[in-house]
Structure 1
């Protein structure tokens, strides 16, 4: 039964990464704050703000300029948008915020900047009712995971799939160095390794079933 469950999980894994950056057509149609955010043009954003432009204007996918800045790794634009009163916790149509976009992109500097500018590490994001930490753990982005932990991300939030960040690092990971480092960071910060999934299977049991010896050793150590 466990082997069947794991097969289904792995087949579903790509759907978890459901973020949609601006398309070529979106970029071609951008003006104002969205264009300035994509181009990391902080001066233009400040001029627009002084002229009364809405820093939280939405494109057809519900993206604000802040979301566009996150997708483009436009740090100075994001800072200017925050100075202009932009909502750092806005969610686009797929329910992603700046922090989760940066976490999925493995952009530690943007993650730290978003936290500095007021993006909440405990914000519930995505159709999976997850967090930026869960998204980063799923992908093995261990430096991002460490920065989110330092920023106060909830370690044991359970999404609507029944998974914590620790669980996702195991069941959606590959057992390699990046996911092992992610598990190490989570366990070291105090993540609860006893939280099982909806079928009562623990992260350790999943790690053992998948042959992730290094991760299993870390999880065993957390229970001692």
Structure 2
């Protein structure tokens, strides 16, 4: 049906109201209709059209975990590092939703894992805060900096310490995350773990600091171990 309509001159980029203004491609990307998407792309549907503050077909596909759709959009020139709202990228959308397959596809096509939001939050920080271990591991395999800081001075390690995810803390430390960095509140990862009573993380970080010889530089520490 879609192919027939397009053959008879239907506007492939026509938009209509469905609460917000959307195109056929956007609806198909949200639902994951791969065959329809391919037909629309063959008729040169605009892969970089935007709605609602910058939402693109790619972002809709990423948010709804449609890996094959993401692949197809990227092959047709979709902007892999586009941003929506406060600087959120398609890669960040995958991180927030724990969509590992989407994330791997984006990274394969060159998504920038070091991009940050307007407040300086990176994909790794988001994954660490959300407790998405497989996402964290996939990002670290890219060899990107583990110690980027947001505007408030928080790091991925601090985020993991805040929520109490010991597995992510261990992975970050194994990838040389610094436990000695200080945020704008003057707190370290260890202090954050202490204030939230995550005792297994306190043990892990304290032992790590002793091992690397940095125990003496940690402020606000009770020395719990």
Which TM-score applies when normalising by structure 2? 0.80
2:184 and 2:86 map into 1 onto residues whose CA distance is 24
1:89 and 1:152 map into 2 onto residues whose CA distance is 18
- Which runs of no fewer than 5 residues in structure 2 stay unpaired? 1-17, 212-225
Q: For residue 152 of structure 1, what is the aligned residue in structure 2?
A: 143
Question: 1:33 aligned to 2:25?
Answer: yes
1:116 and 1:187 map into 2 onto residues whose CA distance is 25
C-alpha offsets along residues 171-190 of structure 1, whole Å, 9 cap, x if unaligned?
Answer: 3x1x2xxx111111111111
Number of matched pairs:
193
Query: Which is richer in helix?
Result: 1
Task: Answer yes or no: is the 8 Å Cα contact 1:66–1:98 preserved in 2.
Answer: yes
The structure number with the bigger radius of gyration is 2
2:144 and 2:97 map into 1 onto residues whose CA distance is 18
Larger deviation, residues 128-137 vs 37-46? 37-46
Q: For 1:73, which of 31, 46, 65 is the aligned residue?
A: 65
Question: 1:196 aligned to 2:182?
Answer: yes
- Which runs of no fewer than 5 residues in structure 1 stay unpaired? 1-23
Alignment of 1:1-224 (within 5 A): 25-26=19-20, 30-125=22-117, 127-171=118-162, 173=163, 175=164, 179-223=165-209, 224=211
| 1:128 match: secondary structure | coil
Which TM-score applies when normalising by structure 1? 0.80
Q: CA RMSD in A?
A: 1.6
